[in-house]
Amino acid sequence: MKKLSLILLILVGFGFTAQAQHDPNDQIMSANWDVIGNVDFKTVKETEMYAIFNNEIKKYAGKPFELEGYIVPIKDGMKQSKFMLSTLPINQCFFCGKNGVPIMVMVELVEPIKFTYQTVKVKGILKLSTANAMDNPPISLLSGKAL
């Protein structure tokens, strides 16, 4: 859970945008990532931050949503069923010492998939959380499946 908290802190602390150099050919861009990337955050105090969801993303809440991205594991293992999905590969992420913070969402798959450095496509039910983003992922894909 500490890894997840660190990832979330980094994710929300930098406002869901990449801050450093990366290989632009690796960046995943799509209309669905644009919807997620437009989420803002309100800091209440050092330990509290809340996502502010606009109407565009709210219309997808509770509905199937598809994303392509890179797996960022939160647990060890070659099979992953719960992980962060990123617009940049793990070797270009801030907490790996290489780059800025990419857009990420939490993914929970019904069936685990093998970890890969290549992109994966997933589809799940989009969940928006109004809980403290320092403790919980503000955006998740639940009951997901790899496509």
Q: pLDDT tens for residues 39-70?
A: 998 999 999 999 999 999 999 999 999 999 99
Tokens of 13: 């602390």
| Tokens encoding 59 | 């219309």
In the block, tokens 């992420």 appear at 93
Q: Is the pLDDT of residue 141 over 90?
A: yes
Tokens representing residue 129 in the block: 């959380």
Let me know if 51 is exposed, middle or buried by CB neighbors in 10 A (0-12, 13-18, 19+): buried
Q: Please state the φ and ψ torsions of residue 103, each to the nearest 5 degrees.
A: -65, 140
pLDDT in tens, 10-38: 444 434 444 445 566 777 889 999 999 99
Question: How many distinct structural domains can be found in the chain?
Answer: 1
Going by pLDDT thresholds of 50, 70 and 90, the confidence category of residue 92 is: low
CATH number at residue 73: 2.40.50.140
Q: How many residues does the chain have?
A: 147
Q: What percent of the chain has pLDDT over 90?
A: 62
The runs of H, that is alpha helices, within the chain are 2-13, 31-37, 55-58
Answering whether pTM is above 0.85, one says no
* Structural domain boundaries enclosing 137: 2-146
